[in-house]
Amino acid sequence: RKQAAVDGTFVKRMAFVLQIVVPSLNSKEAALLAIQTLLLVSRSFISLRIARKGGDGLQAVMEHSWKKFGIVLGDFFVSGVAASVVNSALKYMTNSISLSFRQRLTTYVHQRYLSDQAYYRAAVLRVGNLDNADQRIADDLNQFCHTASDLFSRTFKPLLDVILSTMRMGENMGYGGLVVLYSYFLFSGAVIRAVSPPFSEYIARSQKLEGDFRRMHSRLITHAEEVAFLDGSDRERAILDQKLEATTTWQQFYFYLQFKQGVIDQYFVKYFASMIGWPVLAFPFLTKAGHGGRSPGEIAARYRESDTLIQSASSSVGDLMMVYKKLQRLSGFTARVVELLEANGVKNIVAALEKKLSAPRGGPTAAAEKVRTGAGGVVLSGAANDGVRFDRVSVYSPDGRLLVKDVSFDLKPGENLFVTGANGAGKTSLFRVLAGLWEPASGVVTRPDVFYVPQKPYLVSGSLRDQVMYPRAGSSDFDDEIIEALSRVNLLKLVNAHGLDRVPHDWADVLSGGEKQRVGLARLYFHKPSYAVLDEATSAINPDEEGSFYDHLGTLGITAFSIAHRMELKKFHHSHLHFHADGTGGWTLKRI
């Protein structure tokens, strides 16, 4: 991957992102930017007026004019109120733009990340080598939008301030000294840019380390019970401390570089610039030619005004020079999220990654690429009445191991298939192909829609009703069907205890292993698919109940593919497919 930098690639990426966050001139975001622009212009003119009133106040004092001083004071009061309102409005608008950008950009990413199993290929098959997708979407996108929205105001207003202040100072003291001052800023800006470390790259690395540290904590939460049973606290603490050490050590180095660069920035932009600015300001007023027939009071007023303006202009030029830091920060976050954004007309995010990123060193083998791309294999959709057909299908694991070679069979509706084999033999992998998660390395699969019931069913965030209806959204219109399904798996006690609407902290913590499997079966009974894969789906359930569960599958017209190690389940099936797990992809298929 290309390292983060403020270059032509960064500009192209930003142009692409802007088309997402500001889709049209009639969009909400365009209106917010227009309002913010008006506020920035208003704030610049208010600053000019306040600077002018400062000079007028000094002139009134030198002329001993109470009337002029009162008028200036009243004008300053009104300007101050206006400035307070505009400043607060600018901050509010910046936050509103950031939120609007985030909502539109994250929605865009969600739409593509959750389509065509892109999330599965990124997380499981590692297509595109996308690390810490949750960190990128939840945090990096937010940081990206905040930095991008803040950059506009920090660029537009200083630039406008420099232009307006320069025009006003030119009227008071001429342009000769200003040319000298701005030439210095151009020179010092080039020097600062030349000695600046590659902060864009460092920000991207910092975010990656933060994501790794966060992932380790997420793993501990996910596997808390297993760790507790194994008394693995000391080992987990060592792992977390190691990740923390890597993160803090890098950040300490990063902050040290910021300190060194800050010394250079502060001196050239602020203090040495003042040494140039004072003579530039004073020289026109020290010479008689610069008086222009003005009274001492007018000279003092214009000097005071020019002093305020030159400080404002110098500060604005300094802000513009420091914009490169914002650009580096923005470039760093762009590098973190660009894999989620640059679709370039490709169907989804992962496909875009495959298109943009050539095969990296240490990447997958050719066999593994066949798993990912389906080179040589075809998966066709068919009607439920046509059954399932595998025709000389071969499957490889992501690391390139041959799992299944040239497997062929036809399965008609109502003919349950019992699948056995050692761990790693390819049982579940074959049904990943059947479900469309993987594509075969060779051969043709014809399949209808297939429902999947794993050994550890996924429990969605929501009520008991949501668990049974998943992946459909929960609805009380189907409560009778839900209660019937729960009754079939002996889980009415959950309805009596919690009802269908209660939402616990996490159902995974509330239910036992056997109850989770019963929820998975209830979900299967509710949806009534034509075909279902049961992957050790009853391993934690009393064997005496399995017969009634399989009988009900027949009643509902569900054809089952059962992956299991317990041979007692064989009697509920019509055919037996066994994988040899000998490294050759061998298999046998027999009628029962």
Task: Give CA–CA dist 552/574, Å, rounded.
Answer: 16
**35: pLDDT strictly greater than 50:** yes
> Helix or strand or coil: residue 105?
helix
Task: Give CA–CA dist 566/345, Å, rounded.
Answer: 49
Residue span(s) of the chain under CATH 3.40.50.300 come to 378-591
The 10s digit of each residue's pLDDT in 332-361 is: 777 777 766 543 333 433 344 344 433 333
**258: pLDDT strictly greater than 90:** no
CB 372 within 8 A of CB 127: yes
CB 32 within 8 A of CB 104: no
Task: Give CA–CA dist 277/471, Å, rounded.
Answer: 67
**32: pLDDT strictly greater than 90:** yes
Q: What is the pLDDT of residue 368?
A: 38
**93: pLDDT strictly greater than 90:** yes
**For residue 363, how far is the Cα from the chain centroid?**
24
Q: What is the pLDDT of residue 98?
A: 93
Task: Give CA–CA dist 76/65, Å, rounded.
Answer: 16
Pick the CATH number of 8-201+258-357 from 1.10.3720.10, 3.30.470.20, 3.30.70.580, 1.20.1560.10: 1.20.1560.10
The 10s digit of each residue's pLDDT in 43-82 is: 888 888 887 887 788 778 877 888 888 998 898 899 889 9
Distances, alpha carbon 152 to alpha carbons 18, 158, 354, 431, in Å:
12, 10, 33, 51
Q: Which of 3-12, 135-144, 172-181, 573-582 has the highest mean pLDDT?
A: 573-582
The 10s digit of each residue's pLDDT in 111-120 is: 878 777 777 7
What phi and psi, each to the nearest 5 degrees, are found at residue 125? -85, -10
Distances, alpha carbon 197 to alpha carbons 194, 203, 300, 318, 320, in Å:
8, 11, 44, 19, 18
Q: Which of 52-56, 238-242, 268-272 has the highest mean pLDDT?
A: 238-242
Count each helix (H run) and each strand (E run) in the chain, helices first.
Answer: 21, 10
Q: What is the pLDDT of residue 247?
A: 92
> Helix or strand or coil: residue 46?
helix
Q: What is the pLDDT of residue 103?
A: 93
Per-residue pLDDT averaged across 424-440, rounded? 85
Of 32-41, 99-108, 231-240, 486-495, the one with minimum mean pLDDT is 231-240
Residue span(s) of the chain under CATH 1.20.1560.10 come to 8-201+258-357
Residue 290's pLDDT band, with cuts at 50, 70 and 90, is low
Pick the CATH number of 378-591 from 3.30.460.10, 3.40.50.620, 3.40.50.300, 3.40.720.10: 3.40.50.300
Q: What is the pLDDT of residue 353?
A: 37
What phi and psi, each to the nearest 5 degrees, are found at residue 227? -65, -40
Task: Give CA–CA dist 583/363, Å, rounded.
Answer: 22
Task: Give CA–CA dist 349/341, Å, rounded.
Answer: 7
Q: What is the pLDDT of residue 374?
A: 45
The 10s digit of each residue's pLDDT in 223-238 is: 776 687 667 888 888 8
Provide the mean pLDDT of the chain. 81
- Provide the whole-model pTM: 0.67
CB 469 within 8 A of CB 478: yes
Of 158-172, 185-199, 470-484, the one with minimum mean pLDDT is 158-172
In 3D space, the residue among 558, 560, 559 whose CA is nearest the CA of residue 538 turns out to be: 560
CB 244 within 8 A of CB 164: no
Report the DSSP beta bridge partners of residue 377.
Answer: 443
The 10s digit of each residue's pLDDT in 15-31 is: 888 888 999 999 999 99
Residue 577's pLDDT band, with cuts at 50, 70 and 90, is very high
Structure tokens at 28: 């909400």
In 3D space, the residue among 516, 515, 527, 589 whose CA is nearest the CA of residue 558 turns out to be: 527
Q: Which of 311-320, 323-332, 421-430, 504-513 has the highest mean pLDDT?
A: 421-430
CB 394 within 8 A of CB 442: yes
Of 173-182, 206-215, 361-370, 519-528, the one with minimum mean pLDDT is 361-370
